Amino acid sequence: MPSNVARFEQLFYASLIVGVFIFASDFDRLERLGPVSSMIGTVGFVIGLLVLLTWLIARRRQNWARWVLVVLFVGGLPLSIINMSEQHTLTASLSALQIVLQLVALVLLFNGNARTWFARAE
């Protein structure tokens, strides 16, 4: 596995761990938005999907998964920014950190040795 792909994997998993802390620190606000059980289920599903996509990208060299992850990131970015405006300072800071980690991770997938690695997979 190329170094850029390995760094992507590390950074993206780190961003998911940050996401768990965001969920925990923002739980009071989220609790007012709807049933806790459905929220936990939704968060679990999303984390599971992102772990699967990360694994497919880093370990199975699936180019389509790389593009799905980009679409999900770009599509979710406006909602993330809106949510940051409603969060406490610590939670908003964690959200900003998560966005930066994911952005850097995704950039790594399209630069340097990652680009040629995915090109050979096709």
119 and 113 Cβ atoms separated by less than 8 Å? no
Write out the DSSP string of the chain. --HHHHHHHHHHHHHHHHHHHHHHHTHHHHHTTS-HHHHHHHHHHHHHHHHHHHHHHHTT--HHHHHHHHHHHHHHHHHHHHHHHHS-HHHHHHHHHHHHHHHHHHHHHTSHHHHHHHHHH-
Alpha carbon distance 49, 15 (integer Å): 14
pLDDT value of residue 109? 96
pLDDT in tens, the chain (122 residues): 999 999 999 999 999 999 999 988 887 777 777 787 788 888 899 999 999 999 999 999 999 999 999 999 999 999 999 989 988 899 999 999 999 999 999 999 999 999 998 887 66
pLDDT value of residue 121? 61
Alpha carbon distance 1, 115 (integer Å): 12
Query: For residue 52, what are the domain limits?
Result: 3-121
